[in-house]
Amino acid sequence: SSAWLDGQHGLGPPLATAAMGLAAHKAARHGLGAVSLQNGNYVGALATYVEAPARDGFIALAMANATPRVAPHGGAAGLHGTNPVAWAAPTVDGDPLVFDAATGHAAAPIVQAADEGRPIPQGMALDGEGRPTTDAGAAANGTLLPVGGALGYGLGLLVDVLTGGLAAAPMGREVPPVTTVNGPYGCSFFALVIDPQQFGASGTLAARISELCASARQTTPAVGVDEVLAPGDRALRTRAERLQEGIPFSSRAWQGLLQRLIAADLDVSSVP
């Protein structure tokens, strides 16, 4: 019911897809399937990988570790990565219940805020001297903070244990900073798939999860809130909008991407 894979520094998305597929295969046979992957690469949004098993009636969990930019709770230097966690469960409504979030505040919104000259909310990052800051520029050169303080810290460490730890691969500060690596940086991935049919929820879980989601959406909104959503609702709406209208890209971000491609000696002459 378990497997240990060596990604040999291949592309992250196909490696993660293969690991999750193997975990689902093992869950179908044994009730549980757990797969750890070493020598991987950046895998992108974890929701991509847990959604497919959930559509087949499984419960799926995915984790990935990353370069150590997030400080431990109360600390001022990076210990682990943003270390995301995603899970999905089946429903009878077509789309599964999906949750995908990082355990540490992500760098991308901070960089975007710095580019646009906007402040960031308190509690996201420290500056280069370890002081709390709302200055996005200072935060971009500082340290990220765990989401929810001690909660994000503990969950972030759990991700490192289940990814790098189980895979006998780098974890915590052993993962090299992306800025110092010219090539693969050896992050790890963990997939867990559960077959509800092997437990007491046989035949009823999907319907009960749909009822749970409906109950969440029917909750009276707090003052200033338009509606209460179930995890994944906003992402489904955004996906539909993007498929219909395209993906918005600011001119500044587009030019920045082109400069990175040029710096990597890639031909952009045919790119508008």
pLDDT digits (tens, 9 = 90+) for 139-159: 988 999 999 999 999 999 999
Is it true that domain 2-104+145-231 has CATH number 3.30.1370.60?
yes
Confidence of residue 179 (pLDDT cuts 50, 70, 90): low
Confidence of residue 254 (pLDDT cuts 50, 70, 90): confident
Per-residue model confidence (pLDDT) at position 174: 93
What pLDDT, in 10s, does the model give residues 4-40? Answer: 999 999 999 999 999 999 999 999 999 999 999 999 9
Q: For the chain, what are the domain ranges?
A: 2-104+145-231
Cα(first)–Cα(last) distance of the chain, in Å? 49
Angle at 209 between CA 230 and CA 213, to 5 degrees: 25
Per-residue model confidence (pLDDT) at position 181: 63
When the pLDDT of each residue in the chain is averaged and rounded to a whole number, the result is 93
Extract the tokens encoding 217.
């959406």
Kindly report the three-state secondary structure assignment for every residue of the chain: CEEEEECCCCCHHHHHHHHHHHHHHHHHHHCEEEEEEEEECCCCCCHHHHHHHHHCCCEEEEEECCCCCECCCCCCCCCECCCCEEEEECCCCCCCEEEEECCECCHHHHHHHHHHCCCCCCCCEECCCCCECCCHHHHHCCEECECCCHHHHHHHHHHHHHHHHCCCCCCHHHCCCHHHCCCCCCEEEEEEEECHHHCCCCCCHHHHHHHHHHHHHCCCCCCCCCCCCCCCHHHHHHHHHHHHHCCCCCHHHHHHHHHHHHHCCCCCCCCC
What pLDDT, in 10s, does the model give residues 224-250? Answer: 999 999 999 999 999 999 999 999 887
User: Is it the case that residue 66 has pLDDT exceeding 90?
Assistant: yes
Per-residue model confidence (pLDDT) at position 112: 83
**Rounded mean pLDDT of 102-109?**
91
